[in-house]
Amino acid sequence: MTKLMTKLRIAVLFALPVIGFVLLWEIFSRSGAIDSKLFPPPTVVAMAFAELIKSGEIFRDTGYSVGRAIIGFAIGAGLGVFVGTLTGAVKVVRNAFLPLIQVLRPIPSISLVPLAIVWFGLGEVSKIFLVTWSVFFPVWLNTFLGVTRVDPVYVWAASSLGASKRASLLKVILPASLPLIMGGMRVGVALAYMNLVAAEMAGAYVGLGFRLEYGHMVFRIDQMLVAIVMIGILGALSDRGFTGVVETLLPWSQTKKR
């Protein structure tokens, strides 16, 4: 009973500010205190949302955005781990590629948006390229750090227990670096999302960023707000989703190390 009460109290505490905010917005907008053309009341936004659901456009936009994010993330993270491992474990590769990577890394991926459109057009490739680019660097960096700074005790133990160099890399050094690699990927998730929206706004035929930009062009601020709310929800969900996947795949990550 008391447990239920606390849960209820938490729920109320959580809901109150949200409801309050939406209510105030509605009142201010309706009363004419603020310009309802620029700040359409929540009810109007909800109607725009219903309209987009009816036409199916919101599903198409969301589907495309999520698809691009996942494909770009997978390529970027995969490349990041692969190159990070190579540059971390093989000295020749490290010496050859480290300067190049360090020069490319500080380039903000948003600055590549126009180039990507020129190179790859308005289709899927330019979006996926930008997401891949933004995910690659944090994942590469953390993999590289993990592999190069792994606690020597683990490598020593593995070599004493008869592990070959290859086995030591795959079964010991890489898993020991996973906490760092996962940290890099989590940053990658956030960056992927930011850059995806930027790329979609700059030029696309479909996607949440496109919906936002389209709403801007036809002055449908209600639709812009729908797109922004969706972007916010998806962003939060992607982080939660990533943490969930990590906790399922790596059960030990929930417990503290040592």
Partner 1 sequence: MTNQKVVGDFPKSKSAILQMIDVKKSFGDKKVLDGITFEVEEGTFTCICGPSGCGKSTIINILAGYLEADGGQCKFQGQPITGPDVNRLVVFQETGLFFWMSLWDNVLFGPRNQGKDLRVAKQKARELIEMSGLLGFEKKYPPQLSGGMQRRAELIRALINDPKVLLLDEPFRGLDAMTRELMQAHFVKVFEETKTTMVLITSELDEAVYMGDRVYFLSTIPTTVKKQMPIPISRPRDFKQLASKEFSELVVEAYETMEAEAMKTFLTIKREVDKKKLFEDEI
Tell me which of 161, 236, 245, 249 binds partner 1, using CB under 8 A.
Answer: 161
Choose which of 25, 28, 39, 154 interacts with partner 1 (CB under 8 A). 154
d(CA 238, CA 40): 28
Compose the 55-84 pattern: x for residues touching partner 1 by CB under 8 A, - for all others.
Answer: ------------------------------
Among 17, 56, 99, 251, binds partner 1 (CB under 8 A): 251
Assess contact for 73 and 188: CB atoms under 8 A. yes
Beta carbon of residue 158, minimum distance to partner 1 (angstroms, whole number): 7
**Residue 155 or 190 with smaller CB distance to partner 1:** 155
Q: Is 248 in the site for partner 1 (CB under 8 A)?
A: no
Asked if 153 is part of the footprint of partner 1 (rule: CB under 8 A), the reply reads yes
Query: Is 158 a binder of partner 1 (CB under 8 A)?
Result: yes
Interface mask toward partner 1 for 102-141; x: CB under 8 A: ----------------------------------------
Backbone CA torsion sign across 86, 91, 92, 96: positive
Q: Which stretch binds partner 1 (CB under 8 A): 13-21, 50-58, 86-94, 174-182?
A: 174-182
Q: Is 160 in the site for partner 1 (CB under 8 A)?
A: yes
Part in contact with partner 1 (CB under 8 A); list of ranges 25-33, 148-156, 180-188, 217-225: 148-156
Residues of this chain that bind partner 1 (CB under 8 A):
152-154, 156-164, 167, 171-172, 175-176, 178, 250-252, 255-258
